[in-house]
């Protein structure tokens, strides 16, 4: 276990901004993770669990507590049952299941940055797939009960970019994630997303070779600056900064009366709600690709990514986020909600 004091956190995040941690602990085994959490909890010390830092906005004042960096390793495949340690790099886990083992189930989640352990936290999803569809169990350290628990999928309360782990952020530290993949003789799961189907030249619902699906996703993501590339400032982001708004029937009706809203994308969501597109709202509210003149701007490839052009502070980024949130509210009466986790700051 490595312990550093007054350690910069910015280099450990994909936005590359924010202040230092009073203490940074790097844990390489589950026992080290649990020991570090117990120590912080016993001392009444605030704890920040850190994976790949790809969904975090750390305030400029930093974090006055213990940041625990999870660096555990483990990839165990038994038939189609996969168990991975929280510290494994997610995009590498996907690559191995697809290219080395020709298994389906997480192939459309290629190229998403960060750790495997963080994927259940916001039920990571893209191109019509979510980890909730493949996760069987999550092994976590429960800080309240002070014990390791095994939560079956049904107890993880997965929904769109949400879960029990996100709802109770100070309770669970994910140690391992178990998946059930699919052996479809080298084929993918059905292509669900219209854009991917178009790109692949197939109908929605068709299957393609699993490695073809994986490559297609990486290509589509790279075109939007959604695959990490240190040389490309469009990828110095936290991915999508806002979640797609899910509107109740009454909210949707009121939204549709706004000028221009009749063209808005609309997808059915649970409980009679309608999901619309945050990227569409941002663009139509006047914030196009590349918007902004300071050190924080929208990505030149995607309106949903707020990016650091090299010297941005957290306040620069948040000022841009607030301007966009307020502009969308004014134009469409819809309140955008941030997807990344805020540390020591609010929108
Ligand atoms: C370019 C880019 C593209 C992206 N594309 C997508 C996308 O397509 N779909 C999508 O869903 N997301 C996307 N994201 C967001 C991000 O990659 C995911 O949310 C990812 O799962 C975060 O993983 P991480 O390890 O970096 O988490 P971190 O940023 O380190 O942490 C995020 C949150 O999870 C908590 N956490 C991390 N590890 C654990 C653990 N082991 N136990 C408990 N809590 C933990 C942290 O405390 C924090 O609250 C993108 C981000 C970037 C930068």
DSSP string, 291-332: --SSSEEE-SS-TT-EEE-SS--HHHHHHHHHHHHHHHHHHH
Kindly report the number of other CB atoms within 10 A of residue 125's CB atom. 18
Average pLDDT over residues 307-333: 98
Q: Which residue, by CA, sits nearest to atom 39 of ligand 1?
A: 118
**Confidence at residue 305, expressed as pLDDT on a 0 to 100 scale:** 98
Q: For 286-302, how does the pLDDT look when each residue is reduced to its tens digit (9 = 90+)?
A: 999 999 999 999 999 99
Q: Where are the beta strands (DSSP E) in the chain?
A: 2-8, 20-27, 47-50, 56-58, 63-70, 75-78, 81-85, 125-126, 129-130, 135-142, 147-152, 172-180, 246-247, 267-269, 273-275, 296-298, 306-308, 341-343
Q: For 201-237, how does the pLDDT look when each residue is reduced to its tens digit (9 = 90+)?
A: 999 999 999 999 999 999 999 999 999 999 999 999 9
Read off φ and ψ for residue 2, nearest 5 degrees. -100, 130
**Confidence at residue 325, expressed as pLDDT on a 0 to 100 scale:** 98
**Confidence at residue 84, expressed as pLDDT on a 0 to 100 scale:** 98
Q: For 14-63, how does the pLDDT look when each residue is reduced to its tens digit (9 = 90+)?
A: 999 999 999 999 999 999 999 999 999 999 999 999 999 999 999 999 99
**Confidence at residue 1, expressed as pLDDT on a 0 to 100 scale:** 87
**Confidence at residue 280, expressed as pLDDT on a 0 to 100 scale:** 97
As a whole number, the mean pLDDT across the chain is: 97
Annotation marks residue 339 as catalytic: yes
Pick from 318, 324, 311: which is nearest to 344 by CA? 318
Annotation marks residue 32 as catalytic: no
Q: Are 55 and 340 spatial neighbours (Cβ–Cβ below 8 Å)?
A: yes
pLDDT confidence of 308, banded at 50, 70, 90? very high
Annotation marks residue 161 as catalytic: yes
Q: Which residue, by CA, sits nearest to atom 43 of ligand 1?
A: 173
Kindly report the number of other CB atoms within 10 A of residue 182's CB atom. 16
Is the CB of 306 inside a 6 Å radius of any atom of ligand 1? no
* 52 CA distance to ligand 1 middle (Å): 7
* 54 CA distance to ligand 1 middle (Å): 5
* 285 CA distance to ligand 1 middle (Å): 27
Which of 16, 68, 91, 113 to mutate to test ligand 1, by most ligand atoms within 8 A of the CB atom? 113
| End-to-end Cα, the chain, rounded Å | 34
Spell out the residues 6+ positions from residue 11 whose beta carbon is closer than 8 angstroms to its own. none
- Of residues 163, 237, 240, 299, which has the active-site annotation? 240
Pick from 335, 121, 135, 314: which is nearest to 245 by CA? 335
Average pLDDT over residues 118-147: 97
Answer yes or no: is pLDDT of 344 > 90. Answer: yes
Average pLDDT over residues 260-274: 93
pLDDT confidence of 164, banded at 50, 70, 90? very high
Is the CB of 86 inside a 6 Å radius of any atom of ligand 1? yes
């Amino acid at each position: 276990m490595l312990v550093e004091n007054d350690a910069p956190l910015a280099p450990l995040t994909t936005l590359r901004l924010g202040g230092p941690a009073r203490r940074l602990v790097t844990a390489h085994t589950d026992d080290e993770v649990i020991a570090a959490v117990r120590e912080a909890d016993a001392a009444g010390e605030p704890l920040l669990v850190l994976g790949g830092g790809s969904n975090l906005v750390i305030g400029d004042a930093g974090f006055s507590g213990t940041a625990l960096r999870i660096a555990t390793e483990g990839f165990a495949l038994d038939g189609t049952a996969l168990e991975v340690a929280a510290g494994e790099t997610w995009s590498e886990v996907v690559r191995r299941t697809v290219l080395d083992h020709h298994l389906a189930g997480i192939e459309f989640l290629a190229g998403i940055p960060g750790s495997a352990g963080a994927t259940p936290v916001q039920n990571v999803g893209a191109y019509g797939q979510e980890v909730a569809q493949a996760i069987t169990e999550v092994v976590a350290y429960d800080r309240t009960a002070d014990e390791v628990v095994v939560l079956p999928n049904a107890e993880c309360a997965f929904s769109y970019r949400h879960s029990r782990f996100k709802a109770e952020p100070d309770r669970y530290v994910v140690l391992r994630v178990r998946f059930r993949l699919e052996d479809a003789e080298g084929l993918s799961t059905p292509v669900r997303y219209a854009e991917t189907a178009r790109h692949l030249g197939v109908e929605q619902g068709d299957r393609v070779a699993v490695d073809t699906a994986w490559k297609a996703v990486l290509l589509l993501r790279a075109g939007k600056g959604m695959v990490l590339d240190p040389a490309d400032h469009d990828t110095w982001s936290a991915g999508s900064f806002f979640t797609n708004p899910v509107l109740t029937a009454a909210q949707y009706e009121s939204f549709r009366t706004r000028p221009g809203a009749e063209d808005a994308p609309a997808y059915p969501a649970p409980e009679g709600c309608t999901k619309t597109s945050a990227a569409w709202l941002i663009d139509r509210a006047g914030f196009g690709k590349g918007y902004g003149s300071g050190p924080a701007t929208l990505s030149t490839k995607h309106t949903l990514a707020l990016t650091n052009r090299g010297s941005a502070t957290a306040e620069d980024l948040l000022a841009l986020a607030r301007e966009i949130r307020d502009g969308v509210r004014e134009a469409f009466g819809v309140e955008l909600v941030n997807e990344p986790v805020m540390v020591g700051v609010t929108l």
